[in-house]
Amino acid sequence: MATRSLLKTTKLGVYSRQCLKTLGQQRTFTTKLTEQQQSIQELVRNFAQQHLKPNAAKHDKEALFPFEPIRQIKEMGLMGACASEDYGGMGMDYLSLALAVEELSRGCASTGLIVSIHNFLYLNLVNEKGTPEQKELFLKDFTRNCIGCFALSEPGAGTDVAGIRTRAKKDGDSWILNGTKHWVTNALEGKALVTFATIDPELRHKGLACFLVPVDTEGIFRGKKERIMSVSTSDRAATACTVTLEDVRLPDSYMVGQPGEGFRIAMEQLDQARIGIAAHAVGIAQSALDTAISYAKQRVAFGKPLTRVASVKDRLTEMCMLVETARLVTYRAAVDVSTKNSAMAKYIAGRNAAAVADHCVQILGGRGLSVNYDGERHYRDARGTQIYGGVTDIQKRLVGHFLLKEHDAL
């Protein structure tokens, strides 16, 4: 079924409007999805299995950006998932978006990542923190037509966000930005960036400011795609590249919040991003489990299918439990958003996805290592989820920090 007719029959718009209405009421986590959330899950699952999964390996191998799927996803409204309806968004809650990212990533990890970063890191920031003028310029077109990016990391500062060196200097009513951003996902296809610069490096986190930047601004240079093993690469379907800012002049009105508020803004957005990457990891893990089950059912060894070999069945069972625990913590983080919950979700989902993909490779035997089978792609894709959106190591430290803080407060 074409996406357009899927949209008509399933009325995603109506469901998401209902989700928005229930968002305020949903304060505690329950494992039961609302009817609307189930409908979104089913709609996106059908779309991803029909339109993404058949081409995922091709996009990965041939390093093709999934333009046509992204066009269809835009038509479905998922590029404006949580944005206000006043600006063309769907007004969905975070859990609905996480469900969509999971299903998209189950079909094609690269497509899931593109959608996750655009929504959780760019769109939601503008929607929640932008001024009306900023929303006119940086939200309206981005809920339906354009892709947005989040440019925080630098060659010399990844985990250490307070160490960023891109400088912002005031010049009359403008700011002049100079610096280099690294690993900017969607940068080659994106039309605007959320970026961060320091007004004084000595101030560390207290010196950061957040800016919105159209990519066609004079002084913006996008580098070549990075060549790495996982989804969001040059060599793969999504893209990540370096963005250099040389004397980029921005009006005062393009600053989000105030000078000095950039660190808080970045951290709050990363809390959301981790929900998105956790959902993406759950989708990759589920896809690895799907691959393993399909293979084990048809592969015969010792006169019976692998599904009847005890150790293979044990592995499949273990994979199922790893996927399910990751899914639960991810959904909980999407409903009850906090630094601890989203760090825990990203840590568990990334780690579990890597373990599930490892089992998948093992079950496929020699074919698990072959580039002609899906196992090795799941393995590469799963590994990336432990790096981007914040490395696993820092997630664990964040959880530990809040664990002890909560204990002190008892």
Ligand X SMILES: Cc1cc2nc3c(=O)[nH]c(=O)nc-3n(C[C@H](O)[C@H](O)[C@H](O)COP(=O)(O)OP(=O)(O)OC[C@H]3O[C@@H](n4cnc5c(N)ncnc54)[C@H](O)[C@@H]3O)c2cc1C
Q: Contact region for ligand X (CB under 6 A) — 45-53, 76-84, 226-234, 251-259?
A: 226-234
Among 40, 76, 97, 240, binds ligand X (CB under 6 A): 240
The window from 53-61, 87-95, 229-237, 247-255 that contacts ligand X (CB under 6 A) reads: 229-237
The window from 32-40, 70-78, 158-166, 288-296 that contacts ligand X (CB under 6 A) reads 158-166
Using CB under 6 A, pick the residue from 18, 153, 180, 269 that binds ligand X: 153
For ligand X, which is the closer residue by CB, 206 or 396? 396
Q: Tell me the site size for ligand X, rule CB under 6 A.
A: 23
d(CA 152, CA 292): 37
Tokens 């989203």 belong to 342
Select 41 or 392, whichever has its Cβ closest to ligand X: 392
**Binding region for ligand X (CB under 6 A) out of 79-87, 178-186, 285-293, 315-323:** 178-186
Cβ of 151: how many Cβ atoms within 10 Å? 29
Nearer to ligand X, 120 or 373 (CB): 120
Shorter beta-carbon distance to ligand X: residue 152 or 255:
152
* Residue 55 in contact with ligand X, rule: CB under 6 A: no
Asked if 390 interacts with ligand X (CB under 6 A), we say yes
Quick one: 232 or 330, whose CB is closer to ligand X?
Answer: 232
In the complex, which residues of this chain contact ligand X (CB under 6 A)?
Answer: 117, 150-153, 158-160, 183-185, 230, 232-233, 240, 384, 387-388, 390-391, 393-394, 397
